Amino acid sequence: MLSAGNIGVRNCVMSVIALWLLICILGTSPAFAQYYAWPESCSRKGGPDCQKLAKQNAKGPVLSVLEYGAKGDGKTDDSQAFLKAWTAACKDGTTIVIPQGSSFLVAPTNFTGPCSSKITLQITGEVLAPPDPSVWGELSTATWLLFSSVDSFTILGGGTIDGQGQSWWSKSCKRNRKNTCTKAPTALTLENCNDAVVQDLNFRNAQQMHLHFNFCNRVTASGITITAPGTSPNTDGIHVSNSTSVVIESCTIGTGDDCVSLSSGTSGLQIKNVTCGPGHGLSIGSLGKAGANDHVSDVLVDGATLVGTKNGLRIKTWQGGQGSVTNIQYQNVKMSNVDHPILINQYYCDSQIPCLNQTSAVKVSDVSYKNIQGTSSIAVAVEFACSDTVPCTGITLDNVDIQHGTSTRTKSFCESAKGTAVGTVTPTSCLQS
């Protein structure tokens, strides 16, 4: 005779067996697979990628672009498959997987919202731009992959976005002054987005800029690697405009232009632990072109390493502009063989035609440099070239030590620059009190 305890144990075992059989049966059904699917890159045995994906699966289905007709052979245009997957995911709020081991050729495409809820784009494979600029035809050449009006949006996965920009570079007027100066596409643009994350991605050889946040709020770019030749024209790494509460952290960037560039409308931005080189450094501007009224404020750079860059920490404005650059803090920055380690230039002129002298200027104020160390490739390591009529004010140098790569002593240059020096400062400060 079975005791009550034995009966309880038997029932428990039978329940476990029944549950196991149910899972096995459901696991082969399309409906179950839709909601609990693993991409080919993820083994059912587990691992960090599977654990992460499992958490996402609990919130909704995971859709692979392969299910929507993408070939992933690097030759077939997979744009329509990507758009179909986007439409489905945007409607239901889910994850789109671009799987590992495949290369997807995608023409210039706009992915628009708003979406019903949170959406994730998981790129573990490779996304390729058309190498031929003529593919853009009558389309705007400002963007390649554009995501607009999408909130609570995440792009991650460790995959690669390759702009294949070599043909665009050859047509640039920066390469050949006989070429007409035209705009080339930004590889990945997020526009009118809130609460967005771009994480653990590789960018390569963008046509022009690699990643652009425009009219975005509360966005983060982290763990990003950006690679392009030092001779590639205008290939800024991360560009930010008209955006607030932006964090750029733990990124490695090597390009032919600014590693990070900030333009008008940027405020409340933090750059943390970024490595830059080759490139043109960390830049604010250019601002004030053609009389524009531009503003950048409340920027913190805390932890950066610059190696062999053409500029270090740069603020650049055109003559004749209006507006302001204020409350900018640079701290804990290391440099090696940098051309212009610290530079404010209110006479910026990126033009084949000489710029005229003008009296109005973007006001630069309250800029601090703290714990800045390293070497300069030129003698003038600190340069503040400010407007005679709109001087730079409130500049602070605190524990700055920039030496020349040789035995030559470094120098400072100041024009209409007012501020103070605190602690040990090399080269000797030339700021007016």
The one-letter amino acid at 236: D
- Which member of 257, 258, 294, 366 is catalytic? 257
* CA-closest candidate to residue 262, choices 315, 190, 199: 315
Report residue 364 as tokens. Answer: 């630069």
**Backbone conformation region of residue 157, classed left if phi is above 0, alpha if psi is from -120 to 50, else beta:** left
- Catalytic: 280? yes
* CA-closest candidate to residue 279, choices 260, 262, 255: 255
The one-letter amino acid at 379: A
How far is it, in rounded angstroms, from Cα 384 to Cα 402? Answer: 15
- Catalytic: 295? no
Phi, psi of 266, rounded to the nearest 5 degrees: -90, 130
- The sheet that has 186-191: what strands, in order across it? 109-112, 143-148, 186-191, 211-214, 238-241, 260-262, 282-287, 313-318, 342-348, 380-385, 411-415
- Which member of 212, 239, 280, 404 is catalytic? 280
CA quadruple 324, 256, 280, 379: dihedral positive or negative? negative
Residues labelled catalytic: 257, 280
